[in-house]
Amino acid sequence: MSLEQGYVQVYTGNGKGKTTAALGLALRAVGRDLKVCMFQFIKGSGRYGEHLAAEKLALLTIIQSGRPGWVNTKDIAEDRLVAQEALIQAVELLASGEFDLFICDEINGAVGFGLIDVEQVLDLISNKPKKTELVLTGRNADERIIEAADLVTEMREIKHYYNAGVPARIGIEM
């Protein structure tokens, strides 16, 4: 099975659930025998629940990229280099046409930190294979990316237990 037409979806906003929504879409696609790649930007360390699940799902590939820890906002040079190398790999994988659903997780965040240029994401969008669905996640999606997308969902935080001191929990946030 393959898609007749792939569209571009953006999940953005300051609320929880962007990666989770993309993973839900990935699970639905795998259930219909579609091949899925989730390419994670600025998530270079740690094994999250989705990585463990992907090991059990032959049609789901997850690739992590980024330095260990968080982006060094005082000097982004190393983070930018790593993100640019990752983008080259993601562009090649997307262009291969091997995947029915291709998710660029946290690519909007990488743009926001200056690690990837908006123009590079717009090129990624315009060069995606016709039958591949492309999903871009992360806070603060640039207006030009929103304009280029076919579907945009904004997650808005109304209330979050992090603010009450609840740390990230295994199986829920990690």
Domain with residue 66: its CATH number is 3.40.50.300
Contact predicate 12/22, CB 8 Å: no
How high is the pLDDT of residue 44?
Answer: 80
How high is the pLDDT of residue 78?
Answer: 93
Confirm whether 130 is domain-assigned: yes
Confirm whether 169 is domain-assigned: no
Confirm whether 119 is domain-assigned: yes
CA distance 8 to 102: 10
Confirm whether 102 is domain-assigned: yes
How high is the pLDDT of residue 59?
Answer: 96
Query: How many domains are there within the chain?
Result: 1
Confirm whether 8 is domain-assigned: no
Per-residue pLDDT of the chain (174 residues; tens, 9 = 90+): 789 999 999 999 999 999 999 999 999 999 999 999 999 999 887 888 898 889 999 999 999 999 888 888 889 999 999 999 999 999 999 999 999 999 999 999 999 999 999 999 999 999 999 999 999 999 999 999 999 999 999 999 888 888 888 888 877 777
Q: 35: domain range?
A: 20-164
- Between the alpha carbon of residue 129 and those of residues 8, 89, 90, 151, 166, the distances in Å are 11, 16, 13, 17, 42
Contact predicate 101/73, CB 8 Å: no
Confirm whether 64 is domain-assigned: yes
Confirm whether 47 is domain-assigned: yes
- Residue 80: CB atoms within 10 A of its CB come to 18
Confirm whether 128 is domain-assigned: yes
